[in-house]
Structure 1
Amino acid sequence: MIEDVFPRQLHPYWPKLQEKTRLWLLEKRLMPADKVREYADGLCYTDLMAGYYTDASEEVLQAIADYSAWFFVWDDRHDRDIVHGRPDDWRRLRHRLHAALDSPRHHLHHPDALVAGFADSLLRLYSFLPRTWNRRFARHFHEVIEAYDREFRNRTAGYVPKVEEYLALRRLTFAHWIWTDLLEQGAGCELPDPVRKHAAYRRPALLSQEFAAWYNDLCSLPKEIAGDEVHNLGISLVTHEGFTLEEAVDEVRRRVEECVSEFLEAEREALRFADGLADGTTRGKELSAAVRVCVGNMRNWFSSVYWFHHESGRYMVDSWDDRSTPPYVNNEAAGEK
């Protein structure tokens, strides 16, 4: 369905993007040099972003791709802190990320490479659009950090959230509104609240993110079962709704397919909304064009997420020596003690 309805797009800057993000990971010491050499390209982090924000300028796309790579490294640190029982390390990191989000310039040389890399990526992202966008992005990411803390506590306690609780948490841990905020960076235009919050814009934005989160749940289920995860729609369905594993997989797939069909309808409404913004003024023309770019990139998210999950080494659990330990992670405690 995805291959037929959502042709794959890729920003022409992608080969350079891959090279520069690889160098950035090394420069910022976010992954050991041997891990970068062996795994960085195969993880396809830059492919994911180059297939999403296809209208972004090269400078913007590079900032987004580096930030995205940082996000995956952070996600892996969070996972390893849980697996290896390091709650104090996680608590320190959580507080430092909150602080860096509000004052990145003061954290560029932080002893913890993850904090310093975060600060660097933030300063670059904050340089493109007005401060109002920056404050909104920061507000949304503060919520993401706190959601990761809830995940930490859930996993430490072995608590599997019920389905509706999980879906609400997932919208934060998958950072739905962060990737949606970045659509405006890709379009080079901050959208005013009446446009951004309009149902015709919000609905396809949410559907594209829900598709991505649930497709991720579908593809990462073997990896997460192997790693004793508790956060997966399939796991919630089995634990709380009495589904067999096979039934849970079918239900997640059904929800994924429903997202696709509902998006196609919402996309048409969003494009009509964009047309209505072109009211004969220069500003109206600009907003109409920006919304069209954003909606086009929402569409890109379907194919980009699809191919990422089938090509990235992040989900090839059957090829790992230890199904519970990704080969591209550093299992040692990290950060300043």
Structure 2
Amino acid sequence: MEAAFPRRLHPYWPRLQEKTRSWLLEKRLMPAEKVTEYADGLCYTDLMAGYYLGAPDEVLQAIADYSAWFFVWDDRHDRDIVHGRTAAWRRLRFRLHRALDAPTDHLHHEDPLVAGLADSVGRLFAFLPDTWNARFTRHFHDVIEAYDREFRNRVAGRVPTVAEYLALRRLTFAHWIWTDLLELGAGRELPDRVRKNPAYRRAALLSQEFAAWYNDLCSLPKEIAGDEVHNLGISLVTHEGMTLEEAVDELRRRVEECITEFLVVEQDALRLAERLDDGTVRGKDMGEAVRICLGNMRNWFSSVYWFHHESGRYRVDSWDDRSTPPYVNNEAAGEK
């Protein structure tokens, strides 16, 4: 893994880390003491700086702030489940949908999470045409609804079947959001004929599936400690009759298959870029944009790998309470 996918970081990374830390404070997304103690060690900016290489600094900053927001949202979702805050979650869900549709109307919302989404997506929407913005918006509406399905499963203690989980995970991990953002890094919206090309789409999916299964593998101890029901390993144990050891082996097998298949399909996608580069200015730009996106799909493997080994998000054995991450705020907005 480390040899096939060498680690790289965007040169803006040190400044990125500093500015995202300031943004979390400014938007009140994490308490000041938690930002000071945990923000850098969580490595959220490292993850994005290892992914969207070649992106202009201001683009990478917008993506990194959005990514940090996403992690905070994921933690709020988790805490709302753990503390049985069904009404608070429902209220947040609808507010996020509205903020996504009209970011400028929600920049000063009373809930920092709603205002933070409005600020971050409003900045993302400044770089590419409205058609890209509409696609991103549509994809993120789907993610919000997938989080609601996870909420209901977890409150009911219902472990989804493997097939259900595989479909839902592509949404809760936001596969198509992170893939959409590749185009911001390349500075060009890709047309449907390119994005839906089987080689390009398969390469994108494999990079995201690797991340999802590697995340499930690394977060399994944390999620077992927290009585989670949403993890492929847990679905395999519950519905396929596997032992925990067998489920871990299956997760590893899936991770390895993603790597092996990506290395093959990557070549097919590079040939697509060559065909697009037909000697015209437009063709040259399109071929280069595809190569940038493919290069960053490749970077996602190493960035995800190192993130899971370095981020404090997965060091469950070092927590005072294995079921309660020390970096989270256990309060919902406006209530205990």
Query: Normalized against structure 2, the TM-score is what?
Result: 0.99
Taking the aligned partners of 1:222 and 1:255, their CA distance within structure 2 comes to: 18
- Amino acid of the residue matched to residue 277 of structure 2? A
Aligned to 2:86: 87
Give deviations 1:196-232, integer Å, cap 9, x for gaps: 1111110000000000000000000000000111010
Taking the aligned partners of 2:177 and 2:331, their CA distance within structure 1 comes to: 29
2:332 partner SS = coil
Q: Is the 8 A contact 1:163 1:233 kept in 2?
A: yes
Taking the aligned partners of 1:333 and 1:289, their CA distance within structure 2 comes to: 45
Taking the aligned partners of 2:251 and 2:3, their CA distance within structure 1 comes to: 20
Aligned to 1:255: 254
Aligned to 2:185: 186
**Displaced runs of 4 or more, over 2 A:** none
2:300 partner SS = helix
- Amino acid of the residue matched to residue 34 of structure 1? E
**1:42 Cα deviation from its structure 2 partner:** 0.1
Aligned to 1:174: 173
Identity of aligned residues (%): 82
Give deviations 1:19-75, integer Å, cap 9, x for gaps: 000000000000000000000000000000000001100000000000000000000
**1:280 Cα deviation from its structure 2 partner:** 1.4
**1:334 Cα deviation from its structure 2 partner:** 1.6
**1:132 Cα deviation from its structure 2 partner:** 0.2
Q: Is the 8 A contact 1:111 1:336 kept in 2?
A: no
Aligned to 2:140: 141
Aligned to 2:278: 279
Aligned to 1:97: 96
2:321 partner SS = coil
2:25 partner SS = helix
Aligned to 1:305: 304
Alpha-carbon RMSD: 0.8
Taking the aligned partners of 1:291 and 1:206, their CA distance within structure 2 comes to: 15
Aligned to 1:15: 14
Taking the aligned partners of 1:230 and 1:335, their CA distance within structure 2 comes to: 28
Q: Is the 8 A contact 1:30 1:113 kept in 2?
A: yes
Aligned to 1:47: 46
- Amino acid of the residue matched to residue 69 of structure 2? W
Aligned to 1:67: 66
Aligned to 1:3: 2
Aligned to 1:239: 238
**1:320 Cα deviation from its structure 2 partner:** 0.1
Pairing 1:266–2:262 present:
no
Aligned to 1:24: 23
Taking the aligned partners of 1:237 and 1:333, their CA distance within structure 2 comes to: 32
Aligned to 1:204: 203
Pairing 1:124–2:123 present:
yes
**1:13 Cα deviation from its structure 2 partner:** 0.3
Q: Is the 8 A contact 1:112 1:336 kept in 2?
A: no
1:4 partner SS = coil
- Amino acid of the residue matched to residue 213 of structure 1? A
Taking the aligned partners of 2:117 and 2:334, their CA distance within structure 1 comes to: 13
2:75 partner SS = helix
Taking the aligned partners of 1:321 and 1:91, their CA distance within structure 2 comes to: 30
Aligned to 2:154: 155
- Amino acid of the residue matched to residue 321 of structure 1? D
Give deviations 1:142-190, integer Å, cap 9, x for gaps: 0000000000000000000010110000000000000000000000000
- Amino acid of the residue matched to residue 168 of structure 2? L
Taking the aligned partners of 1:50 and 1:212, their CA distance within structure 2 comes to: 16
Number of equivalences: 336
Q: Is the 8 A contact 1:113 1:335 kept in 2?
A: no
Taking the aligned partners of 1:3 and 1:140, their CA distance within structure 2 comes to: 32
- Amino acid of the residue matched to residue 261 of structure 2? E
Q: Is the 8 A contact 1:204 1:263 kept in 2?
A: yes
**1:289 Cα deviation from its structure 2 partner:** 0.2
Taking the aligned partners of 2:252 and 2:3, their CA distance within structure 1 comes to: 17
Q: Is the 8 A contact 1:277 1:287 kept in 2?
A: yes
Taking the aligned partners of 2:199 and 2:304, their CA distance within structure 1 comes to: 23
Instruction: Provide structure 2 residue ranges, at least 5 long, that are not aligned to the other structure.
Output: none
**1:336 Cα deviation from its structure 2 partner:** 7.8
1:8 partner SS = coil
**1:333 Cα deviation from its structure 2 partner:** 2.3
Q: Is the 8 A contact 1:211 1:256 kept in 2?
A: yes
Taking the aligned partners of 2:282 and 2:262, their CA distance within structure 1 comes to: 27
Aligned to 2:114: 115
1:229 partner SS = coil
2:3 partner SS = helix
Instruction: Provide structure 1 residue ranges, at least 5 long, that are not aligned to the other structure.
Output: none
